[in-house]
A and B are shown apart, each in its own frame.
Chain A
Amino acid sequence: MLLVALGVLAGSLVIASAAFANPLVPKSGGSPNADQIQSLYKIILYMAVVVFIGVEGALLFAVIRFRRSKGAVAAQIHGNTKLEFGWTLGAALIVVAIATVTFIKLPGILNPPSSGPNGLTVASLNPPKPSTGHALVICVTGRQFIWRYTYGAGCDRASWERRLPYSYQEMVAPAYTTVRLVIQSSDVIHSWWVPKLGGKVDAVPGYTTYTWFKAPYAGSIYRGQCAELCGRQHAFMTALVKIVTPAQYIEWIDRQATAIKAANDQVAQLRYELTQMHDLSLTGIF
């Protein structure tokens, strides 16, 4: 019976891997850090499968082989020091191996590379920097229940006052370019996560956190969503990252800036008309 159950388990694993995209490993393909995490996951997975089969196999064998039968006498063994030392050491070795692999993979996941030869070249101000300093900065601000992206060099208050172009929910970013994200929150804790572009980073009010991605090609839209419970509409706090060519990016930024300016002008005009109409002073109301 246990055999059947384990068979079902193994079977569902196989069927699952065949029937669906690839639910055996984390997503990747949008950025080198996501790729590196996936390959680290795979290395651990290979070791884990061996351990899993070994332990469950031994358990299954023991249950089948040593169930009570006529004439069988249980061996009165209290322990075996050599054996116990052996498997403690074995477990330790596996753990050391996984730790070593993690540390080997870490720099590729943590440190952003430089933008490629076709990428957009922008001077950067904020830490951490890629070795040559070429990276584009996009400020990500989480709030209930939407992400806001501000495009520009700095992410402090001054940059807000400079009326940099911004967008909500859908980020536009250039391909071949190392994009550094400066992540903040203006209310509760959120978590920035687009699986194909790498791991998640919490947006904690009062703190600034960083991550990065470098898309290998233009034309894709990557989907993600907030990964930290942030309130009743947490499920709808989604994020889209649209990768375009550097030229398209520059064009889009210009268009967005113009559109925002036009909208602001329209609001200013409307305000002016309202105050005129009702004979109100601008100060004190707006």
Chain B
Amino acid sequence: MSVTTETRPVPQLLAHRIERPRTTKRWIDWVTTTDHKKIGIMYLVLTFVFFILGGVEALMMRLQLGVPNNTLITGEHYNQLLTMHGTTMIFLFVVPAMAGFGNYFAPLMIGARDMAFPRLNALSFWLLALGGVVFYATLFWHPPEAGWWSYPPLSSIRYSPSGGQDAWIFLIHLTGISSLIGAINFYVTIVNMRAPGMSWGRVPLFVWAILIYAVLLIIALPVVAAAVTMLLADRHFGTHWFDPAAHGSPVLWQHLFWFFGHPEVYIIVLPGFGMISEIIPVFSGKPIFGYKAIAASTVVIAFLATLVWAHHMFASPVPTVVLGFFMLSSFLIGIPTGVKIFNWIATMWRGSLVLSAAMYFAIGMLAIFTLGGITGIFLASFPVDWQLNDTYYVVAHFHYTIIGGAVFPIFAGLYYWFPKLTGRLMNERLGKISFWVMFIGFNMTFFVQHALGLEGMPRRIYTYQPGLGWSTFNLISTIGSFILALGVLLTVINVVRSLKHGHRAGPDPWKANTLEWFTTSPPPVNNFDAVPYVRSLEPMRDIRREVERRTGVTQKTGGSEQFARV
């Protein structure tokens, strides 16, 4: 570490902020910006709005199911709600929220000044916003009601004649093009714009995850784009791809949709895994355990993710030998996922854990996601799946994986990176309360749903009769969902309060490892004046050590404020 320090002194200045006199209104800056950080913030704000909308839809469904024979919501409106909820959370919240974090932090973490294609980056965001507008505009006419996977013939013009279904198709197209452009942008940025010395063995694990996320998007999105185009043609232009009356096949749609739909699951959770891989080492005071294994398992998961799609179709007309194949491939994906969990726990092992709010959410992720992974093994065994498929067991399973694997990491990431985004820390105490309320509410909502599924309650029914053994579990689940919502609300309050009243963070409040902390909070437009030569996986750690060596002063609250004009 000290070999080249004489020739390459530690920079005395990180970054200069140049304030030009403002000539336009502030909102015009945001609309016309191509700065990856501003775009990242817009992504995060927009997707959190959709998160709240999707959450309200979920609460309405839970209210309807709270008691048997409830008449609060009709079957028609319930189907619209479940379609809006699923589509919103997948296409308008989790995937683009990851793009938001990726946008803001991937360039910073590799020491780049912006994304490779800044204007394409802005286009990605505005296409996403447009997709959301097209989809939510149906609220004023007729929202789609065929579910987020929109199986034909139910989604055909005959059984779903309203324009809501077409709006759904356009949403897939618009957000799909948005994600595809974004994915290419991420790929090019990460491959070409890394700081000097940052070889593939020194790329932060979050950046690895965003890279693989981008590759998976590039593989999966064209397939769903083709599928929804075929559906659009079936609906309006007289084709019969999925029309059984004209020798079309509804099963073809299922194959195409899930060939996209399963990689989508990993598109959702891999960046979450990446965040966890950044946060746990920082708050454990240790390097990540088994860096290579974690990076490699990300690649292996992505590869296997393209080979497991038909495990969503175990009850469909599919030959048994195909079921066997998809069972085995789905089992295999459990191995790299397990390896990641073991590595994260091993990272904490013999560490010195700082239990910050971000670390709470990271540990909560491990606790929740583990159960989601285990129930996945049950579902992968196809004879068992014949009993569990399309029941509340599956609803429980994928909420454990998605809320565990993506939403808790997003909250962890929010608490961890908020100081970088805004220059202010969030309230730790309120954050921890928010975590506990969310954790308890989440488990109350979804743990009992395993039992509901085993008791024979199918998904997507808008009401049920008393006396089936479902009423108590449903009531617990409904109460839990409101506790979960309260927990989310506490973090929203925390964000709003901390924007004005949070403690000033300084450039590196956590003594973190990666380069985004080697600049002011928030960073200036050009991110860095000078980018250090990267000698390890943890360049900030090296810099802190170097400063300590030179000044003889132990760094207490991070190193970079020593040489930054904050």
Contact = CB atoms under 8 A, between A and B. Distances in A.
Interface in A59-76: 59, 62-63, 66-69, 72-76
A59 B367 contact: yes
Contacts of B355: 63, 67-68
A204 interface: yes
B316 A202 contact: yes
Q: Which of A5, A12, A26, A224 has the most CB of B within 10 A?
A: A26
Nearest to B283: A68
Contacts of B500: none
Given A59-B367, A62-B345, A230-B154, A106 B383 contact: yes
B546 interface: no
Interface of B: 74-76, 79, 82, 145-147, 151, 153-154, 159, 244-245, 247-251, 284-293, 315-317, 320, 324, 327-328, 331-332, 334-335, 338-339, 341-343, 345-346, 348-355, 363, 366-367, 370-371, 374-375, 377-378, 381-391, 436, 439-440, 443, 447-448, 450-452, 454-456, 458-464, 468-469, 472-473
A2 B378 CA distance: 26
Contacts of B343: 84
Given A26-B387, A205-B244, A226-B458, A77 B286 contact: yes
Given A20-B469, A84-B293, A8 B443 contact: yes
A23 B341 contact: no
Nearest to A93: B335
A100 to B, nearest CB: 11
A109 B289 contact: no
A232 B79 contact: yes
Contacts of A99: 327-328, 331, 381
Contact of B353 (A56, A67, A92): A67
Contacts, number: 278
Contacts of A13: 447
A103 B331 CA distance: 13
Q: Which 9 A-B pairs have the closest CB atoms?
A: A199-B386, A206-B244, A23-B451, A74-B285, A235-B461, A232-B75, A26-B387, A205-B244, A75-B350
A193 B393 CA distance: 15
B458 A193 contact: yes
B464 A235 contact: yes
A13 B450 CA distance: 10
A234 B154 CA distance: 12
Given A52-B374, A83-B346, A231-B154, A225 B159 contact: no
A225 B339 CA distance: 39
28 contacts: A5-B440, A9-B447, A21-B469, A23-B454, A41-B378, A55-B342, A63-B355, A66-B351, A66-B353, A73-B352, A75-B286, A77-B286, A78-B290, A78-B291, A79-B289, A79-B292, A80-B289, A80-B290, A110-B383, A188-B153, A198-B387, A199-B386, A199-B387, A200-B390, A206-B245, A227-B389, A234-B462, A235-B75
Contacts of A105: 383
B381 to A, nearest CB: 5
A234 B370 contact: no
A16 interface: yes
Interface of A: 1-2, 5-6, 8-9, 12-13, 16, 20-21, 23-27, 34, 36-37, 40-41, 44-45, 48, 51-52, 55-56, 58-59, 62-63, 66-69, 72-80, 83-84, 87-88, 91-92, 95, 98-99, 102-103, 105-106, 109-110, 144, 187-189, 191, 193, 195, 198-202, 204-209, 223-235
A205 B338 contact: no
Interface of B is mostly: helix
A111 to B, nearest CB: 10
A199 B381 CA distance: 12
Given A99-B327, A189-B153, A205-B153, A5 B350 contact: no
Contacts of A27: 387, 454-456
Nearest to A72: B352
A37 B383 contact: yes
Contacts of B473: 20, 23
Contacts of B472: 20
Nearest to B344: A59
